[in-house]
């Protein structure tokens, strides 16, 4: 029988005896845990910035140029790790389960940071995910490369600002405490309405206006991320520009005509670079 003891030590094959601090974090894709007794993440690239596009201009009479605006685009996330196994049937099952979870077209990659889950919508982009060397006695290595379809990580649980019993114009502050803007969702429950055929929501200089008869028990949804305006789940016409919550304190103005009583909920994510 071949002696493989030298290959089963820490230098060649054994699991590391020390634990890197990020190994304690949960990492989940498509409800599949990539950090547990069977799968271990040993290397992560999640802290880099997304790709940056600059909108620039040239000055024809000088040697310099300037930046008009900057936009964040897609980002790449890579994870490397090991699959622990006891026999060949066991490893085949675990690899099949991993591939099954990764086969979905797009899903959220969740990453637990300081007891809070951050998530980002992404898709797997590499096919060579498994790497096995001859000295890998009790594990196989894997590497996953994801392309995120949005630039920011967001907290899985969104923040909420609520205003109940609204029967007049409101001017209120909403604090978006993080350093990035957020695209909110406005949910408006019409408790009562008489002669109401207009409602306007404004944050700073961006305003969305709905001009349509609004009745008691109507539910209005304004989704600034998907650019949709719905009343009772039916798309309606609108005018103006979708507002967003900038970093810091934002001034919210809501105006409607007629006589009304409204409950307004504003849901927004905490975004991170």
Q: Which of 216, 256, 220 is nearest to 235 (CA)?
A: 220
Same domain, 140 and 174: no
Distance CA 154, CA 182 (A): 9
Q: Which of 45, 51, 99 is nearest to 73 (CA)?
A: 51
Same domain, 67 and 32: yes
Is pLDDT of 17 > 60?
A: no
The pLDDT value recorded for residue 62 is: 76
Distance CA 26, CA 45 (A): 15
Q: Please check whether residue 260 is in contact with residue 193, taking contact to mean a CB–CB distance below 8 angstroms.
A: yes
Is pLDDT of 5 > 90?
A: no
Same domain, 192 and 148: no
Same domain, 142 and 176: no
Number of independent structural domains in the chain:
2
Distance CA 184, CA 224 (A): 6
At 115, the pLDDT band (50, 70, 90 cuts) reads: confident
Same domain, 85 and 125: yes
Among residues of the chain, what percentage have pLDDT more than 70? 89
Q: What is the mean pLDDT of residues 119-125?
A: 93
The pLDDT value recorded for residue 113 is: 85
Is pLDDT of 226 > 50?
A: yes
The pLDDT value recorded for residue 259 is: 95
Last residue of a domain, one of 155, 171, 193: 155
The pLDDT value recorded for residue 134 is: 57
Strands 185-194 vs 206-214: parallel, antiparallel or unpaired:
unpaired
The pLDDT value recorded for residue 149 is: 85
What CATH number is attached to the domain comprising 247? 2.60.120.860
Distance CA 229, CA 236 (A): 6
Q: With helix as H, strand as E and coil as C, how does the chain read? A: CCCCHHHHCCCCCCCCCCCCHHHHCCEEECCEECCCCCEEEEEEECCCCCCEEEEEEECCCCCCEEEEEEEECCEEEEEEEEEECCCHHHHHHHHHHHHHHHCCCCEEEEEEECCEEEEEEEEECCCCCEECCCCCCCEEEEEEEEEECCCCEEECCCEEEEEEEECCCEEEEEEECCCCCECCEEEEEEEEEECEEEEEEEECCEEEEEEEEECCCCEEEEECCCCEEEECCEECCCEECCCCECCEEEEEEEEECCEEEEEEEEEECCEEC
Same domain, 60 and 185: no
Is pLDDT of 21 > 50?
A: no
Same domain, 77 and 169: no
The pLDDT value recorded for residue 11 is: 39
pTM listed for this prediction: 0.74
Distance CA 196, CA 212 (A): 8
Last residue of a domain, one of 106, 132, 155: 155
Best-predicted range by mean pLDDT (35-39, 56-60, 92-96, 182-186): 182-186
Same domain, 122 and 210: no
Same domain, 54 and 151: yes
Same domain, 96 and 139: yes
Question: What are the pLDDT digits (tens) for 51-81?
Answer: 888 988 887 777 778 888 888 888 999 999 8
Q: What is the mean pLDDT of residues 221-244?
A: 94
At 137, the pLDDT band (50, 70, 90 cuts) reads: low
Same domain, 196 and 174: yes
Same domain, 151 and 33: yes
The pLDDT value recorded for residue 135 is: 55
Is pLDDT of 268 > 50?
A: yes
At 236, the pLDDT band (50, 70, 90 cuts) reads: very high
Q: What is the mean pLDDT of residues 87-105?
A: 87
Average pLDDT, the chain: 85
Q: What is the mean pLDDT of residues 30-58?
A: 87
Give one word for 96, left, alpha or beta, with left for phi > 0 and alpha for psi -120 to 50: alpha
Q: What is the mean pLDDT of residues 197-212?
A: 95
Last residue of a domain, one of 104, 135, 155: 155
Q: For the ranges 87-96, 235-244, 253-262, which has the lowest average pLDDT?
A: 87-96
What CATH number is attached to the domain comprising 65? 2.40.30.200
For residue 95, give its domain range.
5-155
């Amino acid at each position: 029988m071949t002696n493989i003891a030298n290959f089963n030590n820490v230098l060649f094959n054994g699991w590391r005896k020390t634990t890197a601090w990020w190994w304690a974090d949960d990492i989940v894709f498509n409800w599949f845990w990539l950090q547990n007794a069977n799968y271990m993440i040993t290397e992560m690239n999640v802290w880099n910035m997304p790709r940056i596009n600059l909108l620039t201009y040239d000055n024809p009479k000088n040697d310099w140029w300037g930046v008009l605006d900057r936009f964040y685009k897609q980002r790449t996330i890579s994870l490397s790790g090991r699959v622990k196994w006891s026999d060949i049937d066991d490893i085949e099952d675990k690899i099949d389960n991993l591939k099954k979870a990764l086969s979905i077209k797009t899903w959220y990659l969740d990453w637990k940071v300081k007891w809070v889950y951050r998530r980002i919508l992404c898709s797997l982009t590499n096919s060579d995910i498994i790497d096995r060397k001859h000295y890998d006695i009790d594990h196989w290595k894997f590497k996953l490369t994801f392309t995120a379809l949005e630039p920011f990580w967001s907290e899985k649980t969104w923040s909420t600002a609520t205003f109940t019993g609204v029967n007049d114009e409101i001017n209120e502050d909403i604090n978006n405490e993080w350093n990035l803007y957020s695209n909110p969702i406005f949910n408006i429950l019409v408790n009562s309405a008489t002669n109401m055929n207009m409602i306007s929501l404004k944050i700073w200089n961006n305003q969305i206006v709905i001009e349509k008869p609004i009745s008691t028990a109507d539910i209005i949804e304004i989704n600034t991320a998907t650019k949709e305006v719905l009343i009772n789940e039916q798309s309606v016409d609108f005018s103006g520009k979708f507002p967003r919550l900038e970093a810091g304190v934002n001034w919210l103005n809501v105006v409607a005509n007629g006589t009304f009583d409204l409950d307004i909920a504003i849901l927004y994510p905490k975004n991170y670079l």
